[in-house]
Amino acid sequence: MKKTKINRHERVAQVMLSGNPISPEEIKQAFKGTDQENLMYRLSANICDIRVNGGIVKVYKDGRRVKAYQLVNHSEFNSNGRYVGKPVETPTA
């Protein structure tokens, strides 16, 4: 398997791999002290990239304000936050 750089939306997906609702503040805390810290104002764009690449993200809101994000299909992501899809079942003959 070819090793490539982890994209920003994959790092956000890594934080959300538990499958529990995660607040935007918790996601920003995970990036504290990294080179990606100043780009977290684009969090909604990163969530959109997760959705485009196969993720199902549920958004919890209070009016217009986002309270939490939840990665619904977290089992279809590897530990690097990359979408790998559903595991293929091999038929037993």
For residue 90, name the pLDDT band (cuts at 50, 70, 90). confident
Convert the pLDDT of each residue in 6-57 to its tens digit: 888 898 999 999 999 999 999 989 888 887 777 777 899 999 999 999 999 9
**Residue 47: count of CB within 10 angstroms of its CB:** 22
The yes-or-no verdict on residue 1 having pLDDT over 60 is no
**Which pLDDT belongs to residue 2?**
61
C-alpha distances out from residue 88 to 12, 84, 85, 92, Å: 25, 11, 9, 13
Q: What is the pTM of this model?
A: 0.82
Are the CB atoms for 12 and 46 separated by under 8 Å?
yes
